[in-house]
Amino acid sequence: MAPDTKRKLETRLRRIGGQVAGLERMVAEDRYCVDVLLQIAAARAALDAAGKLLLAAHVETCVADAVASGRPRERQQKLDELLEVLARFGAVGGS
């Protein structure tokens, strides 16, 4: 992973950790349900954005390298892996 991408991802994940800690406090303080739900939605959106960042980095590096390698087995393995990730996390950025 490129150092810049890693730094961005770490920053986002720390922020998400803060959001989750805030959610725990909100629940402990018996805050209004809708306020908690809105914060959950915000944390979910932040996780989706982190996932998009990491997916883009993976495609630009690991998958691109495998495709360019000229090794059919490696290329197919990375493409299969990518399809599995997209199937599992296809809702990243979606509903």
Please, which residues have CB within 8 angstroms of residue 9's CB and are 6 or more apart in sequence?
1, 50, 53, 54
- Would you write out the chain's pLDDT as a tens digit for each of its 95 residues? 899 999 999 999 999 999 999 999 999 999 999 999 999 999 999 999 999 999 999 999 999 999 999 899 999 999 999 998 988 887 554 44
Rg over CA atoms, the chain: 17
Q: Are 46 and 16 in contact (CB under 8 A)?
A: yes
Answer yes or no: pTM beyond 0.85.
Answer: no
Return the amino acid letter for 88.
Answer: R
Structure-derived torsion over alpha carbons of residues 10, 14, 20, 25, reported in degrees to the nearest 10: 170
> Domain 3-88 belongs to what topology?
Methane Monooxygenase Hydroxylase; Chain G, domain 1 (1.20.58)
Looking only at Cα atoms, what is the longest distance across the chain?
58
Q: Which helix (H) or strand (E) holds 95?
A: none
Domains of the chain by residue range = 3-88
